[in-house]
Amino acid sequence: MKYVSNNKNQRTVGIMGSFRPNLVQPPETQPAMTRPDHIQGTACNVLLVEAVASADSCIIAASELEQNKGIKITRESRIERVLESLKENNFDAIIYDLSVSGPERYENLDRIACLCPETPLIVLCDGRDQNAALEALKRGAQEYLIKGSMNVRPLRRIIRQATIRKIWERNQIKSARYDYLTGLPDRILFRERLEQAILDANRSDGQMGILFVDLDQFKEINNTLGHEIGDKLLKIVTERIRKCVRRADSVARSGGDEFAIIANRIAPASDAANLAKRINTSLARPYRINGSELHCTASIGITVYPTDAEDADTLQKYADLALHRAKDVGRNGFQFYSATMNKVVHTRKNIESQIREALSKDQFILHYQPNVDAVNGALVGSEALIRLQHPEHGMVPPNHFIPTAEETGLIVDIGEWVLRSSCAQARKWQDSDDLPARVAVNLSPIQFRRPEFVETVTKVLADTGLDPSNLELEITENVVMADFDTTEKTLQALFELGVKLVIDDFGTGYSSLTYLKRFPVCKLKIDRSFINEITSSSEDAAIVTAIIRMAHSLNLEVIGEGIETREQMSFLKAQECNEFQGYLFTKAIPPEDYRDWARDWIDTRVKDYEFEPES
């Protein structure tokens, strides 16, 4: 949009950015609280950026004002000194000579505007080069002056008008309530439109749908490829969503990778489902950005007015619940709100409270499941498994509270407690000399990706005195592949510390030979889903055999977990699996029972389980 500024000596045309819709001519007068009266009544502190000492009338006028205490002028010509002066002083306005720095003048202008975004910027140009002034206005300047045509009074007025316009522009940007990147309404404007849509639907006795859309893989793309790629992806997503909705519908950007849609006048409610299907299909198509092909799907939650609720707060809450449900059931799909979702949320809140109470009252405990050598049956180590000893509900298994701990971030505190407690217990076994001190600890993806994770492991080992070689950290394939470069740095640091690294649930994720060759992994743990059917399914038997052979070819050891029968053990032993773990030997048991089990195992392992005697 264009605006026109007039004074007795010139007619100035400026260009406002297109991201500020429906702007009008800024008022010549402002409320007292925003009017820059200091420009008129007291000294005005101005930075003059000039190419060389000049005899232009406007600069001479500025000098006269300085002498009369009307305007205080700071003159600079070198851009380095200009930037230093801007950092050291607070200026009421900046006058920038467009002949400064030759071809670099716009770059320097951008640097000045970026460093002082709140300060009015006025440019000086030759009367024959007003296109340069227009370009400067596009880049954020408020006014321009033609050299040789100014005197004292107009210069004061121009500085004051530029200051007024800067204040006005800043207020307009703050109140525009449109997202800068996508041009969509923001969360506040969406809320206003939702309330208006409710009134309209109520008057017409109609229905409308509220859809919350969340991009499934956006955070990974943003973190691995950078914000520039992420921003371009968001713009493409915006255009695709716009093409899916009707003209009467409203789309907003409600968060980083979240969008909200009001689908007006839907009849029946299945219209909202059809819209969600169109959006899912459109967003699932590949994205070509900077020569690369990216994939990003979306999860969608839907609620319907007035069927589910009749006020804006509840409708937004229900759409959010439906969105989380869509993510829980597999993503790249949509879910309608249902009353049972409130029960799920209530249950989650209760579990979160239980977790916080357990952390504060030491209600978490560790049980240990042993690992035995596949050849001679010797006890070689154990895996620490967390339990919650609730005062009313008794022993609570981890699958009851771990998902909620992941969602709330409490898994970080739980994970550090498990790491510290298991290392302390292993140190006791290390000192006793009659039990192996090696202990394996499962890592949460959130815990593993924390920047301070390696530092935390180092401190725990130092505090407990456990030899690093006795600590095994188990991570899944999906965690490894989420951020390749960061994962490599973390694993390498742990390896250099002396910690052993194990891939847990192998075969259920990416199973990429690339990362097995690249990362300092020492063992693979075959997922129990393959072990369950190895004696009855030729496919599972073939998969397990292939995993063991591949691992051995890469000098990796293999652990078979979830072993429950002698037949499973015999099959794995024939394939030269290195270690066994499972209920066939014992379930996970408290540390006070672990020593007794170990002694009994030593006495019975060869006779009852047909292991070879130790040499």
Q: What is the pLDDT of residue 334?
A: 92
For the cut 70, the answer to whether the pLDDT of residue 175 exceeds it is no
Q: Please tell me the distance from the alpha carbon of residue 470 to that of residue 384, in angstroms, as a whole number.
A: 13
Over residues 205-225, mean pLDDT = 87
pLDDT tens per residue, range 256-268: 899 999 998 887 7
Q: What is the pLDDT of residue 573?
A: 93
Residue whose token pair is 């960061």: 486
Over residues 526-536, mean pLDDT = 90
How long a stretch of residues is the chain?
Answer: 615
Classify residue 235 by burial, with Cβ atoms within 10 Å: 0-12, 13-18, 19+: middle
Over residues 505-515, mean pLDDT = 68
For the cut 70, the answer to whether the pLDDT of residue 58 exceeds it is no
Q: What is the pLDDT of residue 601?
A: 86
pLDDT tens per residue, range 241-285: 999 998 888 999 998 899 999 998 887 778 888 999 999 999 999
Confidence of residue 33 (pLDDT cuts 50, 70, 90): very low
Q: What is the pLDDT of residue 92?
A: 83
Q: What HEC string does 76-93 produce?
A: ECCHHHHHHHHHHCCCCE
Report residue 258 as tokens. Answer: 């979240």
In the chain, the percentage of residues whose pLDDT exceeds 90 is 37
Q: Which of 136-140, 345-349, 443-447, 563-567 has the lowest mean pLDDT?
A: 345-349
Over residues 420-442, mean pLDDT = 90
Q: Which of 170-179, 280-289, 335-344, 385-394 has the lowest mean pLDDT?
A: 170-179
Q: What is the pLDDT of residue 271?
A: 87
- Among candidate residues 378, 372, 365, the one with its CA nearest the CA of residue 422: 365
For the cut 60, the answer to whether the pLDDT of residue 16 exceeds it is no
Q: What is the DSSP string of 156-185?
A: HHHHHHHHHHHHHHHHHHHHH-B-TTT--B
| pLDDT top residue among 159 and 33 | 159
Q: What is the pLDDT of residue 386?
A: 94
> Which residues is 297 bridged to in the sheet?
none
Q: What is the pLDDT of residue 36?
A: 47
Neighbours of 299 (CB within 10 A): 25
Over residues 459-482, mean pLDDT = 89
Q: Is 331 left (phi over 0), alpha (psi -120 to 50) or beta?
A: left
| pLDDT top residue among 231 and 42 | 231
User: Three-state SS for 49?
Assistant: strand
Q: Which of 97-111, 218-232, 530-544, 594-608 has the lowest mean pLDDT?
A: 97-111
- Among candidate residues 342, 354, 453, the one with its CA nearest the CA of residue 402: 354
Encoded amino acid at 178, one letter: Y
Q: Please tell me the distance from the alpha carbon of residue 284 to that of residue 300, in angstroms, as a whole number.
A: 13
Q: Please tell me the distance from the alpha carbon of residue 128 to that of residue 105, in angstroms, as a whole number.
A: 17
Confidence of residue 607 (pLDDT cuts 50, 70, 90): low
Report residue 403 as tokens. Answer: 């998902």
Q: What is the pLDDT of residue 300?
A: 95
Residue whose token pair is 């003159």: 75
Question: What sections of 512-613 are H helices per DSSP?
Answer: 513-518, 528-531, 538-553, 566-574, 591-609
User: Three-state SS for 589?
Assistant: strand
Q: What is the pLDDT of residue 281?
A: 94
Q: What is the pLDDT of residue 10?
A: 32
User: Three-state SS for 304?
Assistant: strand
β-pairing, 71-76 vs 121-125, is unpaired
> Are 355 and 410 within 8 A, CB to CB?
yes
- Of 470-474, 590-594, 603-607, give the range with the top mean pLDDT: 470-474
For the cut 80, the answer to whether the pLDDT of residue 31 exceeds it is no
Mean pLDDT computed over every residue of the chain: 81
Confidence of residue 70 (pLDDT cuts 50, 70, 90): low
| pLDDT top residue among 415 and 56 | 415
Encoded amino acid at 310, one letter: E
User: Three-state SS for 489?
Assistant: helix
In the chain, the percentage of residues whose pLDDT exceeds 70 is 82
Over residues 547-572, mean pLDDT = 93
Residue 95 φ/ψ, nearest 5 degrees: -105, 120
Over residues 94-118, mean pLDDT = 77
Q: Which of 33-37, 196-200, 576-580 has the lowest mean pLDDT?
A: 33-37
pLDDT tens per residue, range 476-498: 887 776 667 778 889 999 999 99
Over residues 368-385, mean pLDDT = 92
Q: What is the pLDDT of residue 433?
A: 66
> Are 481 and 509 within 8 A, CB to CB?
yes
For the cut 70, the answer to whether the pLDDT of residue 153 exceeds it is no
